[in-house]
Amino acid sequence: MSEKNQPTMEEIVSLCKRRGFVFPSSEIYGGLANAWDFGPYGSQLKKNIKDSWWRFFVERRDDMVGLDAAIIMNPRTWEASGHLSHFSDLKAECKKCNERIRVDQKLKDEDNAYFNDKVKNINDAIRNGEKTAIGSEDEIDGIRKEMQIKLNEYCACSKCGNKNWTVPEQFNLMFRIDYSLTGSENSIAYLRPETAQAMFVDFLNISNTARKKLPFGVAQIGKSFRNEITPGNFIFRTREFEQMEIEYFFDSKKSDWNIPFDGLRKDMEKWMDAVGIDMKKVHAVDIPDGERAHYSQRTIDFEFEYPFGQKELFGLAYRGDYDLSQHENLSGEELRIIDPETNEKIRPHVIEPSLGVERGLLSVLLSAFENQVLEDGSSRTVLHFKPEIAPVQIAVFPLMKNKEELVEKAKNIFEDLKQNFRCEFDDNGNVGKRYRRQDEIGTPFCVTVDFESLEDGAVTVRDRDTMVQERIKIADLQKYFGEKLK
């Protein structure tokens, strides 16, 4: 068998469409740019990844609790969190064809560093009282014009080739919605751009009811929405996506933040490995001072080697008590927890592991994918999913579909196994073709009922990865798969 080679995005996108993992959203109407639907196997795979995360980080621990909060929250949430004023990217438009670009993605690294430095100096001066925010606006305008000059110098529009850009401007990434029946001005709300804020806003309700002592974490899985300037690369960057986030609260006076930070880092690495992400392609990148959010004392981006480059997969950040104190200030509620030993009220600090479900799923697919040339010269495509997350764990076949005794026996086995495992019954085409189809959707085992089965009460079990076949007694199948799949 050949060495496992790196798949291309075309191979992944085409397999996803062909086998019903992921296809374009609302395709009969021409689709919607960068919107994708997860089909029969994709939705199951996605669910399995989320379930595995929930089991790993919530159910098997006694220091984590769950939350499932509303997507549309009181808009003051986003005022306090800083999303209304800061959650934006710099956008410029091609003057000829209106193509939009994210400026930081198009400027050269040294120019980005130069402009970041300039903005940082202005912000520092405002903070130190050396300058006023209003007086600095002209300077910021000047920086944007300088950026425009750089773009016009070396950035050709990918659509029309022109080098003629508008002055970059801030573009807020939150989706605004009208949350009233009357459409009045006070009715603007937002689709949440991250799941995290609900875990801060609900802190009192959670800490009062969960009866946990610090340190403890709150976990949530759910949809987030960002009006990204340049979505793309299949499901890597979309405007609607799911996040799996944890806010892990601890008493910063009692515990050095490095302890929970390192613990969660190790857990994230363990989980990525367990779910089948190729750890040789994952790189933990420490984000340097000037590039981190101002409230974060340390951020690690776990980057993955995608076919389109090494990019952020998941993040881990120490956010201090920034969020709780912001919400305290704006809501007037004390978001603190009483230390049962000292009776002191503590506003905890927080470590945040933040994971995108779709980026996780894409890395799982890329890690599992193999185009294999077999010894006889033929080839097959196979997804080497971990059994825990494979959409189908066992496929059951009768050797021939028009032999009633075989079909009946296979159906009985299927009925029995599907009580405990994710199973599929397939009697379509020859067995070789059925094996290939199951390989392509990553099914670890196939069970075939043949004429011998009627005599010896045994079936052929074929292993996806080794393609080795062995005879197993029907009566032993539950035990056999219990050991292999659980």
Q: Which residues bind to ligand ATP, rule: CB under 6 A?
A: 194, 226, 228, 237-238, 241, 243, 312-315, 354-356, 358-359
Residue with smaller CB distance to ligand ATP, 2 or 170: 170
CA–CA separation, 304 and 285 (whole Å): 10
User: Do 307 and 9 touch, CB atoms closer than 8 A?
Assistant: yes
Task: State the alpha helices, DSSP H only, in 387-460.
Answer: 404-417, 431-441, 451-456
The two tokens of residue 144 are 């944007």
464 Cβ contact list (under 8 Å, min separation 6): 382, 384, 438, 439, 442, 443, 444, 445, 446
The two tokens of residue 420 are 């405990």
Nearest distance from C-beta of residue 228 to ligand ATP, angstroms: 5
CA angle 30, 35, 41 (to 5 degrees): 100
User: Do 314 and 360 touch, CB atoms closer than 8 A?
Assistant: yes
Residue with smaller CB distance to ligand ATP, 147 or 235: 235
Amino acid letter, 54: W
The most distant pair of C-alpha atoms in the chain lies apart, rounded to whole Å, by: 91
The two tokens of residue 174 are 């939150």
The two tokens of residue 255 are 């515990």
Nearest distance from C-beta of residue 244 to ligand ATP, angstroms: 9
Neighbour tally for 108: CB within 10 Å: 12
Residue with smaller CB distance to ligand ATP, 362 or 461: 362
Residue with smaller CB distance to ligand ATP, 73 or 399: 73
Evaluated on CA atoms 160, 166, 170, 175, the torsion sign reads: negative
Among 382, 308, 379, 366, smallest CA distance to 19 is for 382
Q: How far apart are the first and last CA of the chain?
A: 28
Nearest distance from C-beta of residue 14 to ligand ATP, angstroms: 21
Nearest distance from C-beta of residue 51 to ligand ATP, angstroms: 18
Residue with smaller CB distance to ligand ATP, 354 or 443: 354
463 Cβ contact list (under 8 Å, min separation 6): 444, 445, 469
Nearest distance from C-beta of residue 215 to ligand ATP, angstroms: 22
User: Do 306 and 62 touch, CB atoms closer than 8 A?
Assistant: no
Give the phi and the psi of residue 396 in degrees, each rounded to 5: -115, 125
Nearest distance from C-beta of residue 446 to ligand ATP, angstroms: 34
C-beta nearest to ligand ATP: residue: 356
Residue with smaller CB distance to ligand ATP, 88 or 420: 88
Residue with smaller CB distance to ligand ATP, 162 or 227: 227
Nearest distance from C-beta of residue 277 to ligand ATP, angstroms: 12
Residue 464, SS3? coil
Residue with smaller CB distance to ligand ATP, 85 or 428: 85
The two tokens of residue 36 are 């994708």
Residue 180, SS3? coil
Nearest distance from C-beta of residue 127 to ligand ATP, angstroms: 24
CA–CA separation, 414 and 105 (whole Å): 52
Nearest distance from C-beta of residue 345 to ligand ATP, angstroms: 30
161 Cβ contact list (under 8 Å, min separation 6): none
Residue with smaller CB distance to ligand ATP, 315 or 444: 315
Residue with smaller CB distance to ligand ATP, 352 or 427: 352
Nearest distance from C-beta of residue 194 to ligand ATP, angstroms: 6
Residue with smaller CB distance to ligand ATP, 52 or 354: 354
Nearest distance from C-beta of residue 243 to ligand ATP, angstroms: 5
CA–CA separation, 85 and 200 (whole Å): 19
